[in-house]
Amino acid sequence: MSEHILSSKVYWIIWITLMCLTMVTAAVAFVDLGPFNTVVALVIATFKALLVVLFFMHVKYASEKMTKMVIVSALFWLFLLLFLSLADYGTRYASHP
């Protein structure tokens, strides 16, 4: 069994998508969406990161299942760090100390 070699067309399509999303997210920053500016920017960033991980880093085609488990575990620990800490700091004081 040999390695999965992607067509270079895939990489170019991902590249164009990433470039367009970068321009879109920069343009949206100048539109007043209230609290949704943050949501839109982070959703676009997460989509970009997902494209890089799945295609540029070959995770979509990884034969080794452990790799996916390591990634999911790492994201879970990051979620614990961010979510639990922000829940604590966000509710501990009525306003900042």
The answer to whether the CB of 44 falls within 8 A of the CB of 24 is yes
The secondary structure of the chain in percent helix, strand, coil, rounded to multiples of 5, reads 75, 0, 25
When asked if residue 32 is in the footprint of other proteins (CB under 8 A), the reply is: yes
Q: Which residues 6+ apart lie within 8 Å of 78 measured at CB?
A: none
Shortest spacing between CB 84 and other proteins, in angstroms: 10
- The residues that touch other proteins, with contacts defined as CB under 8 A, are 1-3, 5-6, 8, 11-12, 14-15, 18-19, 22-23, 25-26, 28-35, 37-38, 41-42, 44-45, 48-49, 52-53, 55-57, 62-64, 66-67, 70-71, 73-75, 77-78, 81-82, 85-86, 89-90, 96-97
